[in-house]
Every structure is written in C-alpha cells, then in structure tokens.
Amino acid sequence: MAAEIQTLPDGTEALIVTEGNGIEIFPLDVIGSYSELLGEPDPSKTVLLIRGALKTTDHTGLWGPLYEDLMGSLRELVDAGVPDEFMPDLMEEATGSPLPKQATRKGLRDKQAAAKDKLGRGSSQNVQQSAQFNALLHGKRDRIKSGRAKFLGEIAPPRREAAPPDPETPLARKDRQTVDRLRTREEGMNGSAG
C-alpha cells in the first residue's frame, strides 16, 4: 500500500491510497465529515473506518441512525441560538458543554461506537496504516477540522424564526395600558393648560 497527499485538478486536497490495482481518494473535507459523523477525532483512524465502510457490504442500520442523532444534537444547539462557528467545538465531549444534552450526546456516542465496531478497528495492518496516514495527515488537521465545520453547517437544521410577540399576552396588555394612561395624562395636562 502506498499513500500520499495530492491536490486534485479542482484544487481539492486529498489523501490518495493505492493498493494493488485499486486507488482510493479521500478529500480532506470528506475525512472531516466522516470524523464528525463517526465521532472519531483522529483523522488517520477515520480513514481506516472509511476504508472499512468501503469493504463492508452490510450497511443496514448504520448511517441513518448516526445522521438522525447527529442532527438531533445539532437541533439542540440551533434552538439554543449557538452560532454555526461554535458547533464543532461544542460537539466534542472534552468541552464539558451542557449542550447537546447528556442523553442526546450519549445516544449519539453509543451509535458511533457501534458503527466503529461494525466497520472494524484494531488489526495489526490497521495500526501500520494508521501510523502512515497519521504522518501524512499531521499537518492537515486544520483543513480537516474546517471540513468538519463545513459538514455540520450543511446538515444543521435551519434556524427557526422567532414568532412575533402575541399582542394579547398579559405583559403586552399592561404595556398598552401604561401607554394609554400616559397619553391620557399628557392630554389632560395639555387640555388644562389651555
């Protein structure tokens, strides 16, 4: 197996892996996307998991639940008003952020662990490949992280527009009554001065 970083004709940087007569192309943005989806912070291990997905024929129940739980986590962040640029950092466990909620985060992490198990990890060949990929991707971590952020921005649910205030809420009625009293008082002052 041989691997190298190349810039594709469209300007995309990618990890190119050749093995036998086969070639696999992993754009750095794609590595970032799968890193987020699978909850794998190590880009070299992410590449191994993607390669495992390419070799696994049974993907039943693998991707859908991951996307659903990831989008549920993002919904909590969007509903809390978190700006898009902070989402990647808040999705990491180490931040200690209260969002996404613990139960949501645990559900996603459980599904990510099951997916990693299904895609395979840990063979001695994987350890050697991981070391090789790590050496190539080490200086590309910022680019991969921006791929994570781009992916989250693309799949994040749309922001809901705030509903206009209800004119019949008790506070709105009180505000109107206060304005009416002030207006009446002002009119009374203007009328008594004349």
CA pair distance 25, 71, nearest whole angstrom: 27
Look up residue 41 and give its amino acid: P
Q: Which helix (H) or strand (E) holds 4?
A: strand 2-7
Residue 187, pLDDT score: 75
**CA 144 to each of CA 12, 41, 85, 112, 162: distance values in angstroms, whole numbers, following the listed order:** 12, 10, 15, 19, 34
Domain span holding position 111: 2-155
User: Tens of pLDDT along 64-113?
Assistant: 999 999 999 999 999 888 888 888 888 887 777 888 888 998 999 999 99
Indicate whether 83 belongs to any domain: yes
Compute CA distances 56 → 37, 51, 62, 136, whole Å.
17, 9, 11, 25
- Specify the pTM: 0.78
- DSSP characters for 9-69? TTS-EEEEEEETTEEEEEEHHHHHHHHHHHT---HHHHHHHHHHHHH-S--TTTHHHHHHH
174-193 burial by CB neighbour count: b if 16+ within 10 A, else e?
Answer: eeeeeeeeeeeeeeeeeeee
- Does residue 189 fall inside a structural domain? no
In a domain, 65, yes or no: yes
> Does some domain include residue 30?
yes
Residue 161 resides in a domain: no
Count of the separate structural domains present in the chain: 1
**Is 146 contained in some domain?**
yes
Please tell me what DSSP assigns to residue 92.
Answer: S
Average confidence score pLDDT of the chain: 85
Specify the length of the chain in residues: 194
Say if 169 falls within a structural domain.
no
Q: Which residues of the chain have pLDDT under 70?
A: 121-124, 162-176, 179, 190-194
| Torsion 134-138-143-144 (CA) sign | positive
Rounded distance between C-alpha atoms, residue 95 and residue 141, angstroms: 19
Say how far apart CA 133 and CA 35 lie, in whole Å.
Answer: 14
